[in-house]
Chains A and B, each alone.
Chain A
């Protein structure tokens, strides 16, 4: 590999210096890192707030905060985690950084729009902070902003939903950028069936972002209008229908969970083959299932509303469609497991986290079917069962995929290696803590404890108490992983170009990559997961020893 200057030392545009080289940059890699610090900040904050909520619930009655604060806290936890962490996390950080490199491009198609999206993201976050401290305080509606409460509550709902509106716009513009980039900037030699699976998943995600986000935008605008002008579009007294709000809300927000999970699945599809030294099983099936999830997932929104009042026919159809989404998801899980079968597996923190992902996501997915079936849903609707299911897919799924992505691409992004031992310990603590945290919630849900309540009956105390303890272990594990990653800045153990033996294009460029990503023109493989060269090389090394 010829000498190259990393992007850290080459501002873009070239005349910028110091802070401006970051704040006005057009470079997708710098933007990715700027997103990363912001997202990590919000994630840590959201996690601490979540932990405080669980601490409050550890004992009956008041533990640390009153009911009003509690309501604002779980809303804040939801809004931060959904709009500021999980939706932007993988696409905005790793998508921005690696999508252009994986398809052999020097940047995204609209670099300035990319910068604009970052500012929208920051502005949305700022609005959320402002809505915390002004007016009557942060919204206490839960992140779903259901009418009529969101229209009548005294709290600062208008500002909070405006923040969500702006964050939605940021995510949509990122999606628009990615779709255009994949279509127009792909290396000429790269056909659709040679695109790495992470990019495939981002491409599918981007379409969902474009398709669904405007619906939530208009819904949130309507909430603000209702608050300001009292039009009555969702108010039965004035001829409106509150159920319509729920339809509009979930028309976006159900597809949004696929915006959250699909990039995570893409990460796993990259990591598993690399550490199994084996071509991914069912490349086309995985790429196709991303698109299938994107399409089918857009048609299942009303499964959140079985108990809201709907015709039996609608319930039946939405339940059927919900079950259909399980098929492409299962295709992915089976493909990952089959990839590992007879592979030459090399253990690594990124792989361990991916395996945790598969396990936790599978539990989350299967319990999703319990909720998707109309009969059982009536029993567990709006109980802790839903909370546990949601966190299993979103945190156990996307969250662990996010950690895996951090450990997988960290050496590439910064050119330094982290300590494996602490990473393993952190991952295991997070996973064990996770199980102790959320499994009791499944049981509490089946026993009938409703979600979002400030207080509960005595029989739920032991479950809530152990969930709180698990929460502390989990948060400790997550922060240990972060601490370990940050400590790598101090030790600065250099990482090679291809420390894991990956085959996609990002592993052919220096770590960290130079300004325009490629030192030599990229060489696109006929098949993106062809490990024959990597295996041959490692055998050569072994032969010498």
Chain B
């Protein structure tokens, strides 16, 4: 009975899991919504301190990597193993670029004495403190998900190289790809909420 592979079922499970991840971030977006209502002016002020250049760059990097992951799944479906490997490596590199950018962004903030419980935030306006508190929690948690996504993609990469993921059996790659799209999707919401806030 159990020998057949039910890829629809595997996908269903994965979608439910992704849904739970969205709810996880949903809790944080609830916090954002309420504090935005309380401190709209300060949020706009805080948003100006963030680098729109880095934010946009990271958005583009993630969008491109989402495309290449999708392309690598199509490639494996068509049996083009080498192409799939290349696209996966490229996507993982994009993830790295994203994290490096994030590192420099956070570093610059730390340099300006903006980090949780820093003197500037504690003694400054409460609204600004909340804005940056949420900024660190949400982008930090998102960064963690980027790392998890990259790990999943790397595992898939190894499996593709070892021929464990093939034209007929690619559920693992498919699901890692879905996860990566989720990471991308959450960023699409995080980006305007922090960098483009009015």
A residues adjacent to B (C-beta < 8 A): 105-107, 109-110, 113, 172, 176-177, 179-180, 183-185, 210-215, 217-219, 221-222, 225, 229-233, 237-241, 244, 247-248, 251, 516
Contacts and interface: CB of A to CB of B under 8 A. Distances in A.
Contacts, number: 105
Contact of B13 (A110, A238, A516): A110
A320 to B, nearest CB: 22
B81 to A, nearest CB: 26
Contacts of B136: 229, 231
A211 B19 CA distance: 8
Given A231-B116, A244-B34, A239 B129 contact: yes
A110 B122 CA distance: 48
Given A183-B12, A230-B117, A232-B133, A214 B17 contact: no
Interface stretch (B24-32, B56-64, B70-78, B89-97): B24-32
Given A183-B9, A215-B24, 18 more contacts: A105-B1, A109-B9, A113-B13, A176-B13, A179-B16, A180-B13, A210-B20, A211-B23, A212-B23, A215-B23, A225-B137, A231-B117, A232-B116, A233-B130, A233-B137, A239-B38, A239-B125, A516-B1
Q: How large is the interface on B (under 10, 10 to 19, 20 to 34, 35 or more residues)?
A: 35 or more
Given A184-B6, A218-B24, A248 B133 contact: no
Nearest to B128: A239
Contacts of B27: 214-215, 218-219, 248, 251
Given A109-B9, A214-B21, A244 B31 contact: yes
A444 B94 CA distance: 63
A445 B137 CA distance: 41
Contacts of B1: 105-106, 516
Contact of B130 (A177, A225, A229, A238): A238
Nearest to A109: B9
**Most chain A Cβ neighbours within 10 Å, of B17, B26, B31:** B31
Contacts of A180: 9, 12-13, 16
Secondary structure of the A contact surface, majority rule: helix
B137 A232 contact: no
B39 interface: yes
B57 to A, nearest CB: 26
B41 to A, nearest CB: 13
Given A109-B9, A213-B20, A214-B20, A233 B34 contact: no
Contacts of B143: none
Contacts of A230: 116-117
Given A214-B24, A215-B27, A184 B12 contact: yes
Contact of A176 (B16, B25, B133, B134): B16
Interface in B1-58: 1-2, 6, 8-9, 12-13, 16-17, 19-21, 23-28, 30-31, 34-35, 38-39
